[in-house]
């Protein structure tokens, strides 16, 4: 417990971070949640919240700054925390306005802008697929002459596979650039997009907790199919633990440490993605975020290690750099994995899946998902393979990929 209650304002554009809120309250904090109106009816841990404030769905940083300043009139705000990707920059701007500790807007911009993060990753000594912003015509032309197709066009500030397209010819690129530059919304024009080399291979992610620019804990996982392929082709999303003490795990953890240091992530969670090229077997950087990974990644890591990213991040924010950080060690060294898909049913029934290795069942409308744990990697792989096949028959629904976040 803290000697004097810490007042924490949590920003959450989407429904995330329940365990963070619960741990802050357990540690004696006064916790206020600021979320969008569309998220107000979600199952937030209201018994752990001292106040819940809903803002309009189109609320921007100026309103959030003014709102937090209004909150601070009656009680000092000690921390402002972004629980979701789209709140990272806003939280940084609020902190700067109130002169609070935490990530600056300049650093936050690096974690939100794929152009800046690619430049920073390259400067940190990490391999990055070749890229060019869709700004200067000559640079775009030189890139396409130097790098053979296919190419990927992706928005500089969206998340996951949202808005990503695969292009196969120069004409497709110029047609898209022309169409983008006619858009009414200025932030949807070409300069807000990146054209990058397409690298075929398996996609991995490393999720970590960082304090004082140092990685205290990290777990490496491998996706079943690249998220881009799932987003555009449908099917089940799969992620599972990389073999402990393997060459892949060692290299991924080392690359993640380089990134965290190079991009100046000082405190909190980080989610980094890499692709292992089918051509040369090397790992290439894809992106990194200053948050806990989505799609139940925290639950998979907790199943394998016993360590909850959300709770430990909350402890960092509340308790600081005391001896409690020495306890940030996994309780077990096992394997876990998830199979998750959109479902045709509003409330899919997974009760026929009854293997003892199941440790978590996703409870979300129109989603089916199971997390399994075992001491043996082979058993996790076996179960995920079986479940993918069964999910295709029992649940899987396919919807067109999003062009932009809703």
pLDDT digits (tens, 9 = 90+) for 178-211: 999 999 999 999 999 999 999 999 999 999 999 9
248 contacts 274 by C-beta, under 8 angstroms = no
253 and 360 together in one domain: yes
User: Does 188 share its domain with 209?
Assistant: no
Asked whether residue 123 is domain-assigned, the answer is: no
Distance, CA of 63 to chain centre: 25
Same domain, 272 and 159: no
For residue 402, is it within any domain? no
Residues 85 and 151 in one domain: no
Q: How many CB atoms lie within 10 A of CB 240?
A: 23
Domain encompassing residue 36: 7-102
pLDDT on residue 405: 55
* Same domain (yes/no): 322, 389: yes
Q: Are strands 267-277 and 283-289 parallel, antiparallel or unpaired?
A: antiparallel
| CATH number for position 70 | 3.40.50.20
Contact between 258 and 206 under an 8 Å Cβ cutoff? The reply is: no
- pTM exceeds cut of 0.85: yes
337 and 213 together in one domain: yes
229: pLDDT strictly greater than 90: no
Same domain, 15 and 44: yes
CA–CA distances in Å: residue 162 to residues 113, 115, 229:
14, 16, 12
Examine the domain organization and report whether 82 and 173 are in the same domain: no
For the CA atoms of 340, 86, 60, 365, the dihedral, rounded to the nearest 10 degrees, stands at 10
Residue 280 lies in a domain: yes
Provide the pLDDT for residue 244.
97
- Where is the domain boundary, 143, 170, 197? 197
Indicate the helix (H) or strand (E) that contains 138.
helix 137-146
Mean pLDDT of 337-345: 95
CATH of the domain at 316: 3.30.470.20
As a whole number, mean pLDDT of residues 359-386 equals 97
**Same-domain pairing of 270 and 316:** yes
Helix (H) or strand (E) holding 17: none
Spatial neighbors of 84 by CB under 8 A, at least 6 apart, are 11, 12, 13, 14, 16, 17, 291
Pairing of strands 30-36, 51-55: parallel
Residue 235 pLDDT level (bands cut at 50, 70, 90):
confident
Q: What are 50-89's pLDDT values in tens digits?
A: 999 999 999 999 999 999 999 999 999 999 999 999 999 9
* Residue 384 pLDDT exceeds 60: yes
Residue 120 lies in a domain: no
Q: Say if 399 falls within a structural domain.
A: no
Number of domains in the chain: 3
> Do 223 and 281 belong to one domain?
yes
Q: Are residues 218 and 186 in the same domain?
A: no
Number of residues assigned to the chain: 406
Asked if 246 and 174 count as a contact pair (C-beta separation under 8 A), the reply is no
5, with CB counted inside 10 A (0-12, 13-18, 19+), is middle
Per the CB < 8 A criterion, the answer to whether 139 and 191 are in contact is: no
User: Is 126 within 8 Å of 138 (Cβ atoms)?
Assistant: no
Does residue 333 fall inside a structural domain? yes
59 lies in some domain: yes
Nearest CA to 34 among 51, 22, 17?
51
Q: Which sign, positive or negative, has the C-alpha torsion 117, 120, 124, 126?
A: positive
* 379/381 Cα distance (integer angstroms): 5
Which DSSP string do the residues of 182-227 spell out, in sequence order? Answer: T-SSGGGSGGGEEEEE---EEEEEEEEEEETTEEEEEEEEEESS-H
């Amino acid at each position: 417990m803290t000697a004097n209650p810490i007042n924490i304002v949590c920003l959450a554009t989407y429904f995330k971070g329940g365990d963070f809120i619960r741990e802050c309250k357990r540690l004696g904090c006064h916790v206020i949640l600021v979320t969008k109106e569309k998220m107000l009816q979600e199952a937030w841990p209201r018994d752990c919240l001292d106040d819940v404030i809903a803002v309009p769905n189109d609320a921007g940083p100026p309103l959030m700054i003014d709102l937090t300043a209004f909150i601070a009139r009656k009680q000092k705000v000690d921390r402002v925390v972004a629980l979701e990707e789209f709140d990272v920059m806003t939280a940084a701007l609020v902190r700067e306005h109130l002169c609070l500790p935490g990530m600056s807007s300049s650093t936050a911009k690096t974690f939100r802008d794929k152009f800046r993060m690619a430049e920073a990753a390259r400067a940190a000594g990490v391999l990055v697929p070749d890229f060019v912003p869709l700004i200067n015509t000559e640079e775009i032309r030189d890139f396409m002459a130097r790098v053979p197709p296919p190419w990927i066009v992706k928005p500089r500030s969206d998340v996951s596979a949202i808005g990503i397209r695969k292009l196969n010819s120069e004409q497709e690129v110029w047609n898209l650039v022309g169409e983008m530059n006619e858009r009414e919304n200025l932030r949807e024009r070409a300069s807000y997009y990146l054209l990058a080399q397409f690298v075929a291979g398996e996609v991995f992610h490393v999720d970590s907790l960082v304090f004082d620019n140092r990685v205290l804990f990290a777990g490496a996982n491998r996706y079943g199919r690249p998220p881009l392929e799932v987003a555009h082709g449908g099917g089940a999303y799969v992620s599972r633990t990389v073999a402990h003490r393997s060459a892949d795990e060692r290299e991924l953890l080392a690359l993640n440490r380089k990134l965290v240091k190079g991009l100046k992530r000082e405190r909190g969670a980080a989610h980094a993605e890499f692709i292992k090229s089918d051509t040369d077997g090397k790992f290439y950087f894809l992106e990194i975020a200053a948050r806990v990974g989505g799609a139940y990644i925290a639950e998979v890591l907790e199943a394998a290690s016993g360590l909850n990213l959300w709770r430990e991040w909350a402890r960092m924010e509340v308790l600081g750099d005391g001896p409690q950080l020495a306890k940030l060690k996994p309780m077990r060294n096992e394997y876990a994995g998830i199979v998750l898909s959109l479902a045709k049913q509003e409330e899919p029934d997974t009760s026929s899946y009854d293997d003892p290795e199941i440790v978590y069942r996703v409870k979300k409308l129109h989603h089916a998902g199971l997390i399994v744990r075992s001491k043996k990697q082979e058993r996790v792989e076996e179960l995920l393979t079986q479940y993918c096949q069964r999910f295709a028959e029992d649940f899987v629904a396919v919807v067109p990929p999003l062009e932009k976040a809703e």
